[in-house]
Amino acid sequence: MKVPVVDNVLKLNDEIAQSNRAMLRASHVFCIDLLGGPGCGKTTLLEATLAKFANELRVGVCVGDLATTRDADRLDRHAVQAVQINTGRSCHLDANQVKQALTHLPLADLDLLIIENVGNLICPVGFDLGQDVKVGMFSLTEGDDKAAKHPSIVTACDLMLLNKMDLAPHLTFDREQFRDEVGRLHPGLRLIELSSTDPNDAGFVHWLNWVRTAVQSQATLV
């Protein structure tokens, strides 16, 4: 007997994500899900970003990793609160893990929550966590073909960062081709080239301004 179903397989995850989103909205916290491959520079970006926003925004972070609390330790000095989620063998964060993490965060005292997802270009993309925006990150050392090979992260994100620009003189990375492929996968997507190790450079300032604008637009919504 064939039984028609027609229902979203990730319904359960998506429902929890929706309730996370409602909870964050109610506390006026803007939420960014940061996605990128292993070692592309996510934690370095967050360290520098938190330092820059120290007297301006109250930022909480939530870091997903297979093991260790190293990333959370690195961020703890700068954040209002840093929560580590060890995913064990899972290669991505899901909405339920974030729901648990939210209970450890002082939401009423935050303006912004940044979730550093597990370093992985494929899995985390398809799991809604309750974020307002997804920010994708590639770095020069990964090679200029990564957008083309991992289209889903490009189509899913609301902003794309290209990190480690300081290394450009030492690498062959076709920036025109990369830009073209990102533009064809996600027409109109903003791409910011920056170095997380160089927070005073123009690219990093563009990133900070993008975050500011996003947080403000959310604040005026509610």
The interface region with other proteins, picked from 21-29, 47-55, 99-107, 150-158 by CB under 8 A, is: 150-158
SS3 18: helix
Give Cα separations from 178 to 30, 142, 182 (angstroms): 29, 12, 6
The interface region with Mg ion, picked from 2-10, 67-75, 142-150, 168-176 by CB under 5 A, is: 67-75
Q: Which of 33, 47, 71, 193 binds Mg ion (CB under 5 A)?
A: 71
Which residue type does 75 have? L
Query: By CB under 8 A, what part of segment 84-143 binds other proteins?
Result: 89-92, 94, 122-123, 125-127
Beta partners for residue 161, in sequence order: 137, 192
Binding flag, residue 76, ligand GTP (CB under 6 A):
no
Beta partners for residue 134, in sequence order: 33
Binding flag, residue 6, other proteins (CB under 8 A):
yes
Binding flag, residue 92, ligand GTP (CB under 6 A):
no
Binding flag, residue 156, other proteins (CB under 8 A):
yes
The interface region with Mg ion, picked from 35-43, 89-97, 121-129, 155-163 by CB under 5 A, is: 35-43
Give Cα separations from 9 to 36, 54, 70, 116, 206 (angstroms): 24, 41, 33, 25, 38
Between 30 and 127, CB nearer to other proteins? 127
The token duo for 183 is 């533009």
Binding flag, residue 10, other proteins (CB under 8 A):
yes
Distance CA 63, CA 114 (A): 8
Binding flag, residue 43, Mg ion (CB under 5 A):
yes
Q: What b/e sequence results for 151-160 when a residue is b if at least 16 CB atoms lie within 10 Å of its CB, and e otherwise? A: ebbbebbbbb
Q: Are 148 and 180 in contact (CB under 8 A)?
A: no
Which residue type does 102 have? L
Distance CA 82, CA 105 (A): 8
Site string for other proteins, 26-55 (x = CB under 8 A): ------------------------------
Binding interface with ligand GTP (CB under 6 A): 36, 38-44, 71, 119, 163-164, 166-167, 195-197
Residues that bind other proteins (CB under 8 A): 1-13, 89-92, 94, 122-123, 125-127, 148, 150-152, 155-156, 180, 183-187
